[in-house]
Amino acid sequence: MEYKTEELSPVKKKVTITAEAQEVETAIAGAVALYKTSLRMDGFRKGKVPASVVEKRFHDKIYEEARQDLVNAHINEIMQSLGVNPVSGIDLDGQDTLERGKDYTYSIEFETLPAFELPPYEGMEEKQEKVVVKDEEVDEVIERIRRDNASLVPVDGDGPAVDGQVVNLDFAAYENGKPLENASAENFDLTLGERQALKDFETLVKTIPYGQEGEGEIHFPDDFIAPALAGKTVTMKVRVHAVKERRLPELDNELAKKLGLEKIEDLREKIADTYMKSRAGLNKGATQKRLLDRLVGMTDFPLPESMVDIQVNALLAAQKSRLERVGKSLESLGKSLEDMRGDVLPRARETTRCQVLLLSIAKREGLEVSDQEINSQIYQASLQSGDDFKALRSQYEHSGMIFALRDRLLADKAMELVYAKAVISEMEPSESREAEAAGKNDAAENSSAS
């Protein structure tokens, strides 16, 4: 195997590779032998089918597997020889198949980390907020838990429901006197005042006494998640079957036992501990961000555009997910895909700059990510998505996502190393902490699990 390297840019390389005819013959013969050992055919014992018959019958599959094995072996050897790792997928250009008796020539293009002088990252001084949990914060979570475990009891009287009460109702939307499809429900429980429905709909419900019917016009916003209703004004008919309110459980050991604990003191301790761990992680993350920002400010280097593209796509996917949670779509923003990509590009480039710096530190420090660590991440992703692990692993490999996953894990390790080498001093917590709400939500969700 011979190869020639071209520097297309400070972060992009092209390698032209030629496998001589003898190497091609060896690759094909190896693929034929693998097929032959396990093949069963009428008239032949297992493993005794002539090689010529095997090759003729499975020609396309054998030659493609031989080509892939040959290319993979070349790439591994070249990467080790050049001392580089691709930071994204590898683009391959060349002949589609191998031919006996002929050389096989192809080229690969890939991006690598830029070469630049690393800033001093050992012994950096930084402050980190002390972790403090107040009694009133624990009380607030306990009240939320009581509310989540409340029982629903009928409200006395037949007056219309008010905010905080739960209404059991039927509803149906009509346009020009005809019912609309997929715009009705029976025995639907709606908690008023929690923005579970459109404001106009809740206002209508609050005018209808128990056991009665009512109707009114409801306008759906243009970006409503159900396209059939978006932008329409319909007549909504509602019948109220029941009005209920929450009866909070007593704050005693019975509540604690319902949550899998022995005493109410155990519940308070668990909430406080959850707060401590969550806030400690947030404070550490904030400190790491300040350390990283300082290091990035000391450097200047070109960015691999493939890494930037990965970050752009990730940001757009996150934005799509946030919009869908509130019943909207990316299209509801009224922008083209190119406009949206342009909006997130500065943030994507900033994130990529941080990642390149951390990957360069990882390279200097000899940090590595094992196949076991990569498989563990993919396995966790398969559990969340319900996909088969092997199929998902193959998808990661063929799409180049495995490079992005490896780089993320390496960057995380490098950030931990920088943090471990820093000199961290403690400071009093800030009164106006942006992460306060996030910490409260984490504590509430984790503590209320039985």
How do residues 143-183 score in pLDDT, each as one tens digit?
A: 999 988 889 899 988 889 999 899 999 999 999 999 998 88
Strand partners, 19: 104
Give the CATH number for residue 72.
3.30.70.1050
3-state SS assignment for residue 96 = coil
Say whether both 158 and 270 belong to one domain: no
Q: Which residue has the higher pLDDT, 72 or 52?
A: 72
Look at the chain and report how many structural domains it folds into: 3
Say whether both 388 and 310 belong to one domain: yes
Q: What was the pLDDT predicted at 431? A: 52
Say whether both 191 and 339 belong to one domain: no
Helix (H) or strand (E) holding 404: helix 401-421
Say if residue 38's pLDDT is above 80.
no
- Asked whether the beta carbons of 243 and 155 are under 8 A apart, the reply is yes
- Asked whether the beta carbons of 193 and 202 are under 8 A apart, the reply is yes
Domain, as residue range, for 389: 125-130+260-447
Say if residue 2's pLDDT is above 50.
yes
Give the CATH number for residue 423.
1.10.4030.10
Say whether both 285 and 412 belong to one domain: yes
Say whether both 427 and 284 belong to one domain: yes
448: pLDDT confidence band, cut at 50, 70 and 90?
A: very low
pLDDT digits (tens, 9 = 90+) for 117-127: 999 999 999 99
Say if residue 444's pLDDT is above 60.
no
Residue 119 lies in a domain: no
**Full-model pTM:** 0.69
Say whether both 407 and 291 belong to one domain: yes
Q: What is the mean pLDDT of the chain?
A: 88
pLDDT digits (tens, 9 = 90+) for 145-154: 998 888 989 9
Distance (Å, whole) CA 405 – CA 382: 14
Q: Which of 85, 73, 246 has the alpha carbon at shortest distance from 150? A: 246
pLDDT digits (tens, 9 = 90+) for 333-348: 778 888 999 999 999 9
Say whether both 411 and 288 belong to one domain: yes
Last residue of a domain, one of 212, 247, 282: 247
Q: Which of 80-89, 117-126, 263-272, 423-432 has the lowest mean pLDDT?
A: 423-432
Residue 173 lies in a domain: yes
Q: What was the pLDDT predicted at 222? A: 83
Residue 41 lies in a domain: yes
- Asked whether the beta carbons of 14 and 107 are under 8 A apart, the reply is yes
Say whether both 236 and 276 belong to one domain: no
Residue 318 lies in a domain: yes
Say whether both 271 and 362 belong to one domain: yes
Give the CATH number for residue 236.
3.10.50.40
DSSP for 174-228 reads EETTEEEEEEEEEEEEEETTTTSS-HHHHHHHTT--TT-EEEEEEEPPTT-SSTT
Please give the average per-residue pLDDT across 269-285, as a whole number.
Answer: 94
Please give the average per-residue pLDDT across 199-214, as a whole number.
Answer: 94
- Asked whether the beta carbons of 292 and 354 are under 8 A apart, the reply is yes
Say if residue 326's pLDDT is above 80.
no
Residue 136 lies in a domain: no
∠ CA 309-315-320, nearest 5°, is 125
Say whether both 320 and 418 belong to one domain: yes
Residue 332 lies in a domain: yes
- Asked whether the beta carbons of 166 and 245 are under 8 A apart, the reply is yes
3-state SS assignment for residue 425 = strand
Distance (Å, whole) CA 67 – CA 73: 10
Helix (H) or strand (E) holding 264: helix 264-296
Q: What was the pLDDT predicted at 47? A: 63
* Residue 355 tokens, joined: 């990642």
Q: How many CA atoms lie within 13 A of 277 on its CB side?
A: 10
∠ CA 187-191-193, nearest 5°, is 145
Residue 372 lies in a domain: yes
Say if residue 450's pLDDT is above 80.
no
Q: Which residue has the higher pLDDT, 444 or 214?
A: 214
Q: What was the pLDDT predicted at 43? A: 65
Distance (Å, whole) CA 244 – CA 230: 31
- Asked whether the beta carbons of 264 and 255 are under 8 A apart, the reply is yes
Last residue of a domain, one of 178, 212, 247: 247
Strand partners, 9: 12
Distance (Å, whole) CA 29 – CA 252: 76
pLDDT digits (tens, 9 = 90+) for 191-203: 999 888 999 999 9
Q: What was the pLDDT predicted at 437? A: 42
Distance (Å, whole) CA 238 – CA 198: 14
Residue 406 lies in a domain: yes
Say whether both 237 and 266 belong to one domain: no
Say whether both 225 and 264 belong to one domain: no
Say if residue 48's pLDDT is above 80.
no
pLDDT digits (tens, 9 = 90+) for 374-420: 999 999 999 988 999 999 998 888 777 888 899 899 999 999 999 99
Last residue of a domain, one of 226, 247, 268: 247
